[in-house]
Amino acid sequence: MSNEDSSNAEFLQFDCARDSQRTLKDLLKKQLGQPVCVIGHNDDRKGQEAVFQNFNVRLAVVKFPDGKTLGYDPLELLLPCEIHEDGTAYFEIRQCRMCDQTFPLTSDEFWADVERVECPECAP
């Protein structure tokens, strides 16, 4: 395996949104460097991408590209729908038409002919 192949293999260990796991809280094993999108309480960081750094009790510490680290409830950190071969996380975030909750699409939902418009909790 070349150095390039091994560095790409690193990205494959990160998780993407699935029906059963859409937030960092849903992950049983939280991996250092896991890409996430912040939807949390800090408005100036809302919608920004970050990477998971640490977990302490109910607080997930994430690091932003500018080096700033902040703590969030893991429910406020959404998983990407895909991670490309170069390691770039791709987020597709939607607002539920019924409850206004923000949720990420899974890869299958993103590529489906008809896009999901309701969060998993509101869907029939």
Domains of the chain: 3-111 (2.30.30.30)
Q: What is the pLDDT of residue 12?
A: 57
Mean pLDDT by 10 residues, the chain (124 residues): 42 85 93 94 88 88 95 95 92 94 94 93 86
Confirm if 81 and 109 have CB atoms less than 8 A apart: yes
pTM reported for the whole predicted model = 0.85
Q: How far apart are CA 28 and CA 68, in angstroms?
A: 25
Confirm if 37 and 72 have CB atoms less than 8 A apart: no
Q: What is the pLDDT of residue 7?
A: 43
Q: How far apart are CA 21 and CA 3, in angstroms?
A: 31
The CB density around residue 77, as the number of other CB atoms within 10 Å, is: 24
Q: What is the pLDDT of residue 8?
A: 44
